[in-house]
Amino acid sequence: MGERWRLLVAEVFGTAVLVMGGVGSAVLATSEPLSIGTYGVSLAFGLSLLVMVYAIGNISGCHINPAVTIGLWLMRKTAARDVPFYLIGQLVGAAAGAIIIFLIANGVEGFDPTNNFAQNGFEEFSPGGYSLAATALAEMVFTALLVFVIASTLHPKFPAAGAGLAIGLSLTLIHLISIPIDNTSVNPARSFASAIFAGADAWKQLWVFIVFPLVGGLLGAYAWMTIHKQSAS
């Protein structure tokens, strides 16, 4: 198997695990009396990413997020010719993870995924009723933060063994802050996964969780390059 196909398969696997761990915890483990709550879902997303960094980081770098791929491409840490393989793998993996969670959740009589599949949303579909403007700002800022941390772990002076911890805990922190805003995307593939089964309302708002995380990824990359250039001078 060629290197790019290994990369694609790794991204499929990693993104599926992220969706099963994060979206899956929100769908399957937030009903009373056994709810893990916002803290548990935040930790589940962070742990999923942390584990995958160590599991597939040596194969694909464990992007499992189109915003990360675009950000690292801007920093020239990902070759342009590899970008399509990353993106295809991430979308396929997201769909696979969503299908698995749906099949499990459907094992409970009366389960309806419509607007009930951990989808991202704003205004009437925001957990806290936050506006489109607030949601867009949150997605840009927190995706930029995630990409900035990921880029920092690639610095030669950063201890490689700590990369998973730094990245996974960053995603946990981001979820703790922003789940009340829009259920936290910072990852277009994760939002796509939820929209597959959540229904028309999720699809109508999905563009927000594609556009603004991608913009945030570029902003995070630019911020890292600016600081890195200054520190090196």
Tell me the two tokens of residue 201: 């309302």
pLDDT digits (tens, 9 = 90+) for 55-104: 999 999 999 999 999 999 999 999 999 999 999 999 999 999 999 999 99
pLDDT digits (tens, 9 = 90+) for 111-169: 999 999 999 999 999 999 999 999 999 999 999 999 999 999 998 888 888 999 999 99
- Whether 189 and 65 have beta carbons less than 8 Å apart is answered as yes
Residues contacting residue 181 through CB under 8 Å, at least 6 positions apart:
126, 127, 128, 130, 134, 135, 138
- Which structural domains are found in the chain, ordered by start? 3-228 (1.20.1080.10)
Q: Give the model's confidence band at 229: pLDDT under 50 very low, under 70 low, under 90 confident, else very high.
A: confident
Helical spans, DSSP H, in the chain: 3-18, 24-28, 37-60, 66-74, 83-105, 132-153, 163-182, 188-198, 200-205, 208-232
Kindly report the pTM of this predicted structure: 0.95
Residues contacting residue 73 through CB under 8 Å, at least 6 positions apart:
79, 80, 83
Instruction: DSSP letter for 186, please.
Output: S
- Whether 92 and 14 have beta carbons less than 8 Å apart is answered as no
Cα distances (angstroms) measured from residue 49 to each of 19, 21, 44, 125, 233: 10, 9, 9, 26, 33
Radius of gyration of the chain (CA): 17
